[in-house]
Amino acid sequence: MINYNEYTPIEEVLSNMVEIKFPNDDTTEGFRKVKETLQRMGVPSKTDNILYQSCHIFHKRGQYYIAHFKEMFAADGRKAELSDGDLARRNLVVKYLTDWQMIEPISTSHTDIVGNPRMLKVLKHHERDQWTLSPKYSIGVKH
């Protein structure tokens, strides 16, 4: 479990995210593909076709990270509490993106806890119109 408060330095928040790079140094196209793919990865509603996005791609100071939406809150200076389940889901997302050769993690710290595939739904591209894609965090919106 990781707890952040409004005084947690951004460096500490960044150090807990998963820093990545893109294969073949294709940053612009790689960023776009990862961002779109992350919109189709998350936790489904039990009653409706709503998919709640779990992770985001984050760019800060020339570096790229895969971050759980709660880590994004912390990066904005808000309180956030990440459970082991949250970290396991983020790490599962990183594993999938790595397996699909969309990213290359800089470190291996994300492999300590990896979630069960049942904790994450991944929509195929052609299924996205049948679902409401709902991010829990909106980039650039401070509260």
Mean pLDDT confidence for 11-34: 92
Half-sphere exposure of 15 (CA within 13 A, CB side): 7
67 in any annotated domain: yes
State the virtual CA torsion across 60, 86, 78, 47 in degrees, nearest 10: 110
- pLDDT tens for residues 108-136? 776 778 888 898 999 999 999 999 998 88
For the whole model, what pTM was predicted? 0.89
Whether residue 142 is contained in a domain is answered as: no
End-to-end CA distance of the chain: 24
The mean pLDDT of 30-37, rounded to a whole number, is 95
Structurally, the chain folds into a number of domains equal to: 1
Which CATH number do you get for residue 80? 3.30.70.650
Find out whether 91 and 71 touch, Cβ atoms under 8 Å: no
Q: Residue 141 above 70 pLDDT? A: no
- Is the distance from CB of 48 to CB of 62 less than 8 angstroms? no
- Report if residue 143 sits inside a domain: no
In a domain, 129, yes or no: yes
Collapsed DSSP state (helix, strand, coil) of residue 82: strand
Query: What is the per-residue pLDDT for 142?
Result: 54
Q: What average pLDDT does the structure give for the chain?
A: 91
Residue 57 lies in a domain: yes
Q: Does residue 13 sit within a domain?
A: yes
Domain that holds residue 49: 2-135
Question: What is the distance, to the nearest Å, from the Cα of residue 112 to the centroid of all Cα atoms in its chain?
Answer: 16
- Both tokens of residue 121? 């739904």
Residue at 96 is within a domain: yes
* Per-residue model confidence (pLDDT) at position 108: 77
Q: Does 18 map to a domain?
A: yes
Q: What is the pLDDT of residue 112?
A: 77
Residues 6+ apart with CB under 8 A from 116: 88, 92
Judged against a pLDDT cut of 70, whether residue 52 lies above it is answered with yes
